[in-house]
Structure 1
Amino acid sequence: MKARDLSVLLGVILIIIMLVIPLPGWLLSILILCNISLALIVILVSMNTQEALQFSIFPSLLLLLTLFRLGLNVSTTRSILSEADAGGVVETFGTFVIGNSPLVGFVVFIILVIIQFIVITKGSERVSEVGARFTLDAMPGKQMSVDADLNAGLISEQQAKERREKIENEADFYGAMDGASKFVKGDAIAGIVIVLINIIFGLLIGIVQMDFTFQEAIDIYMRLTIGDGLVSQIPALLISTATGIVVTRVSTNGNLGSDVTGQLLQFPKLLFIAAGTIFLLGLTPINFFLTTILSSLLALSGYLLLKQTQEKEEMNDEDEVEAEGSAMNTPENVVNLLNMDPIEFEFGYGLIPIVDANQGGDLLERIVMIRRQLAIELGVVIPVVRIRDNIQLNPNEYRLRIKGNEITSGELLLDHFLAMAPDIDNDDLDGIDTKEPAFGLPAKWISENNKDEAELSGYTVVDPPSVVSTHITEAIKQHAHILLGREETKQLIDHLRESYPILTEEVTPEPLSIGEIQKVLSKLLKENISIRNLPIIFETLADFSKLTNDTELLAEYVRQSLSSQITKQYANEKMSLKVITVSGKIEKMIAENVQQSEHGNYLSLDPDTQEAIIKNIHAEVEKLTIQEEISVILCSPAIRMYLKQLLDRFLPQVVVLSYNELEPDVHVQSVGVVNVA
């Protein structure tokens, strides 16, 4: 254990000893001086901190110092009452204050106690209570501000984490200070009670037991009591003042001294007004010589500060010009232009109200929830969405970019609502015809006056922020496989390694590299398969990567291991699934036309056959769409990935599953068969 840590433990043990065992006068004097020194150090540290958390140990330290001071009070009271002696320090303080008049000394001491208890201690307690209340009330708003800055790209994930921890620490600190200030108040009350006990019982003991005269008892016990009270109240006064300084401290870049002088003298011209006022006071019976000297000093200080401020402003202007010129000529200025945000949301100036929190916009908060939702659904951390306005867009237009490429766009009417219904062709609702941007469903923009009518008619009515949030969510879902790169894959592997170190070591870096694992995960995400269950995925990769390093085949093996997840994803609550099956003729045709190459296997069908298969599938899919069912094609495991490759270009939304990807208890109902003549 370090010496500093040991000293604190020994100090606590010494406090316990003081409460029980009588101490000699010379040791009490040493401890009293240590108490004053500690109090002085505490107030100096509190004045030199830039923010409250730099002195986060203060609440606990406050309790220890209070206990130490009470221990000293008990020890000195024991010595005063039993021996009429409490060491040289106590007697010196008492003699210095009392002088030749015990009554005057006692009055001075009472004034000091009143200042300590009513002004400093009471004020510090109130400030601590209010500070704790306001800090806790402001905590949710500060958390939302951090999330908004994170979504806007102003800070990184690490910076956001540090800010959240700081907010939590501030709440803990001010809560602790609120409780600790109550101990300071109790200590002040205990000090007053101890003084009364020393005087009353000191007089009784001195007159009855020690045969002092009343004047001798007053002189001895009054001097010792006031001396004891002073050596106790002066450190308590310093500690209470330090408490008030710490809890009222606002975070700045300087300490209390620099802030006081810097802010008090930030307007030098006001010193001239103060100088003139003091000079005019000298024309009254007040001493003209003193007011003239003071006003001259104020005027001189104002002149020097004004001159210093002007020189500083000129230097700052020159530095800004030089900085702008050098920034344009540095290579970093060009290199920074190469940075590209993973996800960008741009909008026209007409859509600013849905983003600006001051105008009631909550899009930033919605995007935070979108990232959390997609992390749960897909198992991948979506990068921060950079949000910015773009004057080149139409006022009501927005667009979403992923890695610099525009993937979707849309338009909003902020003073309207979007109304959607399954059968919108046979309606007479007034509105502007449009399409719901996320799913392409027919819809109408309606005014707020028609909202109630639309809801009564069975329409789903959505406000503009919800429309754009849904659009962003679906667009990111469809392109999640693009966002998953090697760096993101490495983060997922590192996170998995914390819980499954042996499993990750068996898979990577041998036999599979991070790039190969990334390809497998991307293929799953591309077909809307969540990769959140990484342990199962890595178990499968560990089993089959020894047989093949073909990422296409490995993805198929992983899909089969996730059969329970896939079944729940597509089957209804009754574990029933309507599918389109593939005829044996087509399965045989696809299997016979699989070609092998050094880059993997691929399907090589003649164009006419491909077109016939796609047309047949399209016709069957349209039948399911009319019934509002998910388009699912069921085939054998051997051809699933080749059939999906064939459909990706023309029918990417169609789901292709194999028999091995469904659980045995699911009820499969074939509603169509894919065949060719």
Structure 2
Amino acid sequence: MNSFKLPLWLSGPNSKAIAAPIIIIMMLSMMILPLPAFVLDVFFSFNIALSVIVLLTALYTIKPLDFMAFPTVLLVSTMLRLSLNVASTRIVLTEGHTGADAAGKVIEAFGHFLIGGNYTVGIVVFIILTIINFTVVTKGAGRIAEVGARFALDAMPGKQMAIDADLNAGLIAEPEAKRRRTEVAQEAEFYGAMDGASKYVRGDAVAGIIVTVINIIGGLLVGLLQHDMGFADALKNYTLLAIGDGLVAQIPSLIISTAAGVVVSRVASDVDIGSQLVNQLFAKPEVLYITGGIIGGMGMIPGMPHLAFILLGLLLAAAGHAASKRNKVAPEAAQEQTAAAAAAAQAAPVESEEATWQDIVPVDTLGLEVGYRLIPLVDKTQSGELLKRIKGIRKKFAQEVGFLSPPVHIRDNLELKPSSYRITLKGVEVGAGEAFTGQFLAINPGMVTGTLAGTATTDPAFGLPAVWIEGGMREQAQAMGYTVVDAGTVVATHLNHLITTHAAELLGRLEVQQLLDHLGKESPKLVEDLVPKMVSMSTLQKVLQNLLTEGVHIRDMRSIIECLAEFSGQVQDPSELTALVRIALGRAIVQQIFPGTNELSVMTLDNRLERLLMQALQASGPDGAGIEPGLADTLQYQTQQATQHQEQLGLTPVLLVPAPLRALLSRFLRRALPQLKVLSHAELPDTKTIKVTSLVGAQA
């Protein structure tokens, strides 16, 4: 027996896509084609059900973007109501003389049961509902949507900068950055669409009044002139039908307008609006006790409804007692945990044991110590987001620099201030700062349009001026041009900066061996022939550390190994080998400093200064210890001036020198100018064009 199957376009994955065209066609059909009373009842019932569904969806929505289709739903529901008004007007005017059920049972029910069959009461109720919908709910929701759209647009540049900052720091991956950018754009579009869609609802309220008046006047004319009805009968009959029709449309309109106000007026959080209201209105027992006392006191006043007020006062007092009991649960649980910890400490053996080798704890290569207020950031049980960010930092560092940094050992330190942290390298502090959970650090990148109220400080990673602000000021700060980050991002960015800065110290013999093992999986013969036959492990480690000290990435280990294999037979000094490796990596070094350009804007030495330095180098040897102090001061001062000029032009400060001087000048200038890169002519690819922007020593 053959079974009946729906067409593919109705049962396949595209079945949802045709819902919108079908609804639009149905609404247009209702405006043109006459509908039976039963079909009209079905559509009016559907309209009421749709408005309730929209309201409940809005109440259970966590954030506005979870209901992105709301502006479209608002438009479609408005057009549906107007289509029903047209269809019901047609049937009221054509069949209204037959009785109150001429336009269907729904309109009759609203005309009789809700307003008692009294058209005067119906007119008053209809006008009140229309005024509430038009002047209060819809107007307020539209104003909130308008302001929300403005703030969302103003805050877009700051939010984009914050996303870019997280991406550059390795705190998020490219897919997450794209998702956040899309969310920022959708938020602005949502509030803009809500601002426009609210105008439809206001227009719908006006149209409802006009349609109702037209129905009354048109019904009177039809009843008096066409059906020879008496004036009183025609007025009562058609007025009840018109008011019933208006109420059937206005009540769903009021419900959806309320839903629009709920969506645009709520502040995004992790719970729905119902949970927010209950948790925040009835959380403080003092408020409930005082309110219960006031209401109960009002019930004692003569003439007041004693039972209602006193009963409500008792209910509020009982709610306050329940809230007070709930608030005591958390402190008692904390006390029990503290008591258990104290008992465990007392149960520990009192007698001291002999010292053993197990008492010697190895020093952590990388360590992060936090005060007790920052523990939630690194606690797995509290979903500490800083742990995930540290994993992202290590992964990004390995991908860019070329080796896996040692793991970061995290522990709390009660000797630190509650909101302080410090970063250690081999047990020695290399960085410290403060981070306040629940607050945001607004960093001034140099182009802000105003000042913020908060605790002034400096960005611990790069030393930029910054302000710690409350969470409510985040969007305002972003709109003013600040880069706003949370406490976890502050610590993660500082840690990332220090790991990159001290990369050479993090590359130990273990990491070098792991690099060789990794390369040996693809080129085992290349590694076996080099280490330890031609180059010792310590020499290779020193060469790699020299490269990292000057910010050169070692991702291309194959080229490094091949270069060492070629020249290690004639040269064994790590500094000379480093210079040869830099020449082999010249293209990658230039690409790292000048990404995406063929013109290299650099600084060079004046000929006279260059000759003096060459003479000093020949006299003192490669360490440059014999450079005359006056010449050294002049060189440092002139280089600082040229570097500042490069940075003002928005260029990376790069000093181009002859190959024999490169290592000497790099060591000499590194401490005073860590941002300066020193390159030799031999390291530049032939395909690049050199543009000299500053001459160091021209006025020496």
Q: TM-score, normalised by structure 2?
A: 0.55
Alignment of 1:24-43 (within 5 A): 24-43=36-55
CA distance in 2, matches of 1:146, 1:338: 38
1:477/1:25 Cα in 2 relative to 1: closer, same or farther (>3 Å)? same
Q: Is the counterpart of residue 315 in structure 1 residue 339 in structure 2?
A: no
1:312/1:95 Cα in 2 relative to 1: closer, same or farther (>3 Å)? closer
1:407/1:339 Cα in 2 relative to 1: closer, same or farther (>3 Å)? closer
Q: Is the counterpart of residue 634 in structure 1 residue 646 in structure 2?
A: no
Which sits farther off after the overlay, 520-529 or 82-91? 520-529
Find the counterpart in structure 2 of residue 298 from structure 1.
Answer: 313
Find the counterpart in structure 2 of residue 205 from structure 1.
Answer: 222
CA distance in 2, matches of 1:308, 1:474: 50
Find the counterpart in structure 2 of residue 619 from structure 1.
Answer: 627
Which sits farther off after the overlay, 46-55 or 69-78? 46-55
Q: Is the counterpart of residue 188 in structure 1 residue 205 in structure 2?
A: yes
User: In the TM superposition, what is the alpha-carbon distance from 1:243 to its structure 2 partner?
Assistant: 1.5
Structure 1 letter corresponding to 2:621: I
Alignment of 1:435-584 (within 5 A): 479=502, 510=522, 526-528=549-551, 556-560=583-587, 571-572=602-603
CA distance in 2, matches of 1:571, 1:655: 10
Q: What secondary structure is seen at the aligned counterpart in 1 of 2:34?
A: coil
8 Å Cα contact 2:30-2:86 kept in structure 1: yes
User: In the TM superposition, what is the alpha-carbon distance from 1:510 to its structure 2 partner?
Assistant: 4.6
Q: Is the counterpart of residue 178 in structure 1 residue 201 in structure 2?
A: no
CA distance in 1, matches of 2:79, 2:544: 61
User: In the TM superposition, what is the alpha-carbon distance from 1:559 to its structure 2 partner?
Assistant: 0.8
Alignment of 1:632-671 (within 5 A): 634-635=658-659, 655=678, 657=680, 659=682, 661=684, 663=686
Structure 2 letter corresponding to 1:25: A
Find the counterpart in structure 1 of residue 30 from structure 2.
Answer: 18
8 Å Cα contact 2:156-2:184 kept in structure 1: yes
Alignment of 1:212-611 (within 5 A): 212-252=229-269, 254-266=271-283, 267=285, 268-281=288-301, 284-286=302-304, 291-292=306-307, 294-299=309-314, 301-324=315-338, 405-406=428-429, 479=502, 510=522, 526-528=549-551, 556-560=583-587, 571-572=602-603
User: In the TM superposition, what is the alpha-carbon distance from 1:183 to its structure 2 partner?
Assistant: 1.3
1:182/1:657 Cα in 2 relative to 1: closer, same or farther (>3 Å)? same
Q: Is the counterpart of residue 70 in structure 1 residue 90 in structure 2?
A: no
CA distance in 1, matches of 2:227, 2:57: 46
Find the counterpart in structure 2 of residue 90 from structure 1.
Answer: 107
CA distance in 2, matches of 1:476, 1:648: 21
1:482/1:165 Cα in 2 relative to 1: closer, same or farther (>3 Å)? farther
User: In the TM superposition, what is the alpha-carbon distance from 1:29 to its structure 2 partner?
Assistant: 1.3
User: In the TM superposition, what is the alpha-carbon distance from 1:32 to its structure 2 partner?
Assistant: 0.9
CA distance in 2, matches of 1:104, 1:214: 19
1:581/1:122 Cα in 2 relative to 1: closer, same or farther (>3 Å)? same
8 Å Cα contact 2:111-2:117 kept in structure 1: no
User: In the TM superposition, what is the alpha-carbon distance from 1:191 to its structure 2 partner?
Assistant: 1.2
User: In the TM superposition, what is the alpha-carbon distance from 1:112 to its structure 2 partner?
Assistant: 2.6
Structure 2 letter corresponding to 1:106: I
Structure 1 letter corresponding to 2:195: D
Which 5+ residue runs of structure 2 have no aligned equivalent?
A: 1-12, 97-101, 346-360, 371-392, 434-460, 462-493, 509-518, 528-539, 569-576, 640-653, 672-676
User: In the TM superposition, what is the alpha-carbon distance from 1:175 to its structure 2 partner?
Assistant: 2.9
User: In the TM superposition, what is the alpha-carbon distance from 1:295 to its structure 2 partner?
Assistant: 0.2
1:100-124 CA distances to partner (integer Å, 9 max, x unpaired)?
Answer: 5433333332333223222332333
Q: What secondary structure is seen at the aligned counterpart in 1 of 2:680?
A: strand
8 Å Cα contact 2:37-2:104 kept in structure 1: yes
1:198/1:479 Cα in 2 relative to 1: closer, same or farther (>3 Å)? same
Find the counterpart in structure 2 of residue 111 from structure 1.
Answer: 128
Find the counterpart in structure 2 of residue 47 from structure 1.
Answer: 59
Which sits farther off after the overlay, 653-662 or 118-127? 653-662
1:574/1:197 Cα in 2 relative to 1: closer, same or farther (>3 Å)? farther
8 Å Cα contact 1:66-1:187 kept in structure 2: yes
1:182/1:543 Cα in 2 relative to 1: closer, same or farther (>3 Å)? farther
1:234-291 CA distances to partner (integer Å, 9 max, x unpaired)?
Answer: 100111111122222234554444444444444331244134323322xx2445xxx1
8 Å Cα contact 1:484-1:522 kept in structure 2: yes
Q: What secondary structure is seen at the aligned counterpart in 2 of 1:250?
A: coil
> Percent of counterpart pairs with the same letter?
35
Q: TM-score, normalised by structure 1?
A: 0.57
1:604-643 CA distances to partner (integer Å, 9 max, x unpaired)?
Answer: xxxxx9x96325685399857635369866349xxx9xx9
For these two proteins, the number of residue pairs brought into alignment is 506
CA distance in 1, matches of 2:88, 2:422: 77
User: In the TM superposition, what is the alpha-carbon distance from 1:189 to its structure 2 partner?
Assistant: 0.9
Structure 2 letter corresponding to 1:634: P
Q: What secondary structure is seen at the aligned counterpart in 2 of 1:22?
A: coil
Structure 2 letter corresponding to 1:304: A
1:292/1:152 Cα in 2 relative to 1: closer, same or farther (>3 Å)? farther
Q: What secondary structure is seen at the aligned counterpart in 2 of 1:86?
A: coil
CA distance in 2, matches of 1:5, 1:120: 32
User: In the TM superposition, what is the alpha-carbon distance from 1:649 to its structure 2 partner?
Assistant: 8.2
8 Å Cα contact 2:502-2:549 kept in structure 1: yes
1:82-112 CA distances to partner (integer Å, 9 max, x unpaired)?
Answer: 4444333223322334545433333332333
1:45/1:521 Cα in 2 relative to 1: closer, same or farther (>3 Å)? farther
User: In the TM superposition, what is the alpha-carbon distance from 1:185 to its structure 2 partner?
Assistant: 0.6
Q: What secondary structure is seen at the aligned counterpart in 1 of 2:658?
A: strand
User: In the TM superposition, what is the alpha-carbon distance from 1:129 to its structure 2 partner?
Assistant: 3.0
1:342/1:189 Cα in 2 relative to 1: closer, same or farther (>3 Å)? farther
1:393/1:236 Cα in 2 relative to 1: closer, same or farther (>3 Å)? closer
1:340/1:251 Cα in 2 relative to 1: closer, same or farther (>3 Å)? farther
Which 5+ residue runs of structure 1 have no aligned equivalent?
A: 331-336, 347-370, 411-437, 439-470, 486-506, 587-608, 673-677
Q: What secondary structure is seen at the aligned counterpart in 2 of 1:23?
A: coil
CA distance in 2, matches of 1:171, 1:276: 48
User: In the TM superposition, what is the alpha-carbon distance from 1:56 to its structure 2 partner?
Assistant: 3.2
CA distance in 1, matches of 2:340, 2:189: 45
Q: Is the counterpart of residue 59 in structure 1 residue 37 in structure 2?
A: no
8 Å Cα contact 1:579-1:671 kept in structure 2: no
1:565-602 CA distances to partner (integer Å, 9 max, x unpaired)?
Answer: 7896674499999757999xx9xxxxxxxxxxxxxxxx
CA distance in 2, matches of 1:393, 1:293: 57
CA distance in 2, matches of 1:624, 1:280: 93
User: In the TM superposition, what is the alpha-carbon distance from 1:196 to its structure 2 partner?
Assistant: 1.7
Find the counterpart in structure 2 of residue 362 from structure 1.
Answer: none
Structure 2 letter corresponding to 1:276: G
CA distance in 1, matches of 2:655, 2:128: 88
CA distance in 1, matches of 2:544, 2:192: 46
CA distance in 2, matches of 1:76, 1:44: 27
CA distance in 2, matches of 1:580, 1:401: 43
CA distance in 2, matches of 1:141, 1:35: 42
Structure 1 letter corresponding to 2:75: L
CA distance in 1, matches of 2:545, 2:35: 76
Paired residue for 1:122, among 122, 136, 139? 139
1:523/1:279 Cα in 2 relative to 1: closer, same or farther (>3 Å)? same
8 Å Cα contact 2:293-2:313 kept in structure 1: no
